[in-house]
Amino acid sequence: MMVVEGLLPLASPKRWREVFNRILAMSDGQIRFIGLASIAMGLVGLLLLR
């Protein structure tokens, strides 16, 4: 997971900073929804790989 998370700042630090600033501007509810959606997609991915 850390390899995947490190790809964007390595490849495009300016774009990573823009994305990070957008995330900081989101409300707590929006961030929670993104977290929930990420967990759901990860679980679906695991189930499909089984």
Q: Does residue 32 surpass a pLDDT of 80?
A: yes
**Residue type for 45, please?**
G
Complete DSSP assignment for 25-44? HS-HHHHHHHHHHHHHHHHH
Q: Which amino acid is at 30?
A: Q
For residue 43, the enclosing domain spans: 2-49
Q: Has this prediction a pTM greater than 0.85? A: no
Confidence of residue 2 (pLDDT cuts 50, 70, 90): confident
The answer to whether the beta carbons of residues 23 and 31 sit under 8 Å apart is yes
What total of structural domains would you count in the chain? Answer: 1
The Cα 30–Cα 41 span in angstroms is: 16
Task: Quick: pLDDT tens for 10-24.
Answer: 999 999 999 989 999
pLDDT band at 27 (very low <50, low <70, confident <90, very high): very high
